[in-house]
Amino acid sequence: MPELRKDPVVGRWVIISTERGRRPTDFQREPVRARGDNCVFCPGNEDRTPPEIIAGRPSNSPPNTPGWTYRVVANKFPALRIEGELEPTGEGLFDRMNGVGAHEVVIETPDHQGSLATMSTEAIAEVLLAFRDRMVDLKKDPRFEYVLVFKNHGEAAGASLEHPHSQLIATPILPIMVTEELEGSLKYWELKERCVWCDIIRQERRSRQRVILESGGFVALAPFAPRFPFETWILPTHHSAAFEESDVDELRGLAALLGEFMRRLSDTLNAPPFNFMLHTAPLRTEDLDYFHWHLEVIPKLANVAGFEWGSGFFINPMPPESAAGALRGERDDAG
C-alpha cells in the first residue's frame, strides 16, 4: 500500500509508492566518469579561469600557478553580477531587481579524476573551510542576504564541467526554500520551544531506521518524507544555525562523515550524479534557536516528471528506511 508522508519542517507531503519492490540497482544509471581532456580547472591552466580569490598553497607558491590543493575563483559565466547597487523597481504589479550578487567556483582538487568519494578527509576539510571563509567574507558585503553553497556532480545533475567543483552564489534576497524552512521551524518553536531538527535527530537516533551513519558530531539520515530516492540530510548533532560559525574541528568531523557517506553512495548506486545544497541561516540573523543548518544531498537518479514540478507533490518509489538500510550496507530482502 502506498503511503503519504508529511515533511515536519515545511509541511510538504510526499507519496512513498512501494507498489513495486525496488532494489538500489534499479536506480542505477550511467556512472559519472571523468574524461578530462583540455580542462580549464586542471593545474597548468590557471590563466584560463578568473584570478583566484583564495587557494590552498604552500607559502612559497605564487597565486594562479600550479601547486594548489584547492582554488576559489569567480565564475566566468556568473548568474549574478558583483557590480552595482541594488535597485528594486516595479512594473505595475510586478517586482524586479537588478541581478547583483556574487558567483564563485570552488575547484575542490587538482585531480581531474578525483571526487568527494576518493579525496582524503583533510582535502575535503580544506574545501569545507573554503566554503566557510568565503561565506564570512561575502557576509561583509551589506548587499547580500544569503550565500547558497551547492554542488552539481555529473552532467545529469547539471554540471557543465566535469572537474570536481562546487559553487557559491551570494544573493540579495532569501531563497524561497530557506524562507519556508524558517517559517516552518519557527512555527514548531512557537509550539514546543524546541528546534524541530534537534527533535528529528533525537527521534531518529532512538529508532535508528533512517540513520545512515553518525560520527564526529554529525549524522547522515534519510529524511522521513524524502522527495527523491536516497535523498539524505547531514546535520550537526548539536544545535547550530549558521554553517559559517563552525570551527576547524567541527568541519573536520563533517569532512570525515561526508567522505564516508559519499563512498557509500558511490558503492550503492555506482557513482551516481548528485547535487548537494547547504541550508544555513540567513546572513543577517544571529543565533537562531529554531533553525539548524544542514546539507541536503540528492542523487539524480531519474527524470523528475512535470507532475512534481507542477504540484510540489513528489512520488518517491524508495522508502527512506530501505534507502538508509542499503547505505548502511544491509542487504535488502524486501523486493
Is 239 annotated in the active site?
no
Closest CA to 182 of 204, 197, 167: 197
Q: Catalytic residue, from 165, 279, 292, 294: name it.
A: 165
For residue 204, what are the contacts with CB-CB under 8 A and spacing of at least 6?
210, 211, 219, 221
Strands 52-56 and 88-91: unpaired
Min separation Cβ 17 and its own copies, Å: 5
Q: At a CB cut-off of 8 Å and minimum separation 6, what does 184 contact?
A: 8, 9, 10, 11, 196
Q: Name which of 22 and 252 has its Cβ closer to its own copies.
A: 22
* Residue showing cell 534576497: 173
- Rounded CA separation 156/122 (Å): 28
Residue 166 burial by CB count (10 A; 0-12/13-18/19+): exposed, middle or buried?
Answer: buried
Count of C-beta atoms within a 10 Å radius of residue 18: 17
Spatial contact of 116 and 227, defined as CB atoms under 8 Å apart: no
Sign of CA dihedral 199, 200, 203, 204: negative
Q: Are 80 and 102 in contact (CB under 8 A)?
A: yes
For residue 261, which of 127, 47, 66, 115 has the smallest C-alpha distance?
115
Active site residues: 165
